[in-house]
A and B are shown apart, each in its own frame.
Chain A
């Protein structure tokens, strides 16, 4: 079956502009994670959605970052007033929702803020 998909694959934007990154999880997966992968920094947890529960937003670095998940499926990560330090690869992963189940990652969106 289809894996996790993300769009766009690459995004170049100017400082101060808003961007939206999309994640389409595996069908039936109830849990969805967003991570930021910066050079030499590993994966930084951003936000976690599980079913209809309130999302865990504890990893969002500032109030310029927000995410939503509509209908328990597709998720959008929005970065407002982008800064150069936001440049990174943004990864999405989904799991079946069982505790510590395997995460299936998308290909990522490479964001470059000029």
Chain B
């Protein structure tokens, strides 16, 4: 069965520090993985998807099939990155979301 795990409920870092939000998945095929973000008082929105291999707002995520991980990384966190981040896996018309990690970037 498909499952997405985000082990950290809360991650606090100082501005300028590197940040890594962890995401592990269980899926037997070739996964399609996404990161969604929800800023305070805003809607949930797509941040990036692994097939695009792009960097959005300085964030990147690499799919590691060996470790079944799709961690989200940014070398220098900014205060405006503070938000709730959700990792998601797509399979057969369904998106499976993790429980989310709240990122708090302190000044």
Q: List A residues at the B interface (Cβ < 8 Å).
A: 3, 31, 33, 35, 40-45, 48, 50, 56, 59, 91, 93, 99-100, 102-108
Q: Which 4 A-B pairs have the closest CB atoms?
A: A42-B99, A43-B97, A105-B44, A100-B90
Contact check, B43 vs A42: say whether CB atoms are below 8 A apart. no
Partner of B94, one of A42, A56, A108: A56
Contact check, B99 vs A103: say whether CB atoms are below 8 A apart. no
Partner of B44, one of A48, A91, A100: A91
A residues near B43, Cβ cutoff 8 Å: 3, 105-108
Dominant secondary structure at the B interface: strand
Q: Enumerate 8 A-B pairs (CB-CB under 8 Å) in ascending A order.
A: A40-B99, A42-B99, A56-B93, A100-B49, A102-B49, A104-B45, A107-B43, A108-B43
Q: Residue of A at shortest CB range from B41? A: A107
Q: List B residues at the A interface (Cβ < 8 Å).
A: 6, 9, 32, 36, 43-46, 49, 86, 88, 90, 93-100
Q: Residue of A at shortest CB range from B46? A: A102
B residues near A43, Cβ cutoff 8 Å: 44, 86, 88, 95, 97
Q: Residue of A at shortest CB range from B6? A: A42
B residues near A105, Cβ cutoff 8 Å: 43-45
A56 to B6: give the CA distance in the assembly, Å: 26
Contact check, A45 vs B98: say whether CB atoms are below 8 A apart. no
A21 to B55: give the CA distance in the assembly, Å: 36
Contact check, A33 vs B97: say whether CB atoms are below 8 A apart. no
A32 to B44: give the CA distance in the assembly, Å: 15
A residues near B49, Cβ cutoff 8 Å: 100, 102
Distance in angstroms from B36 CB to nearest chain A CB is 8
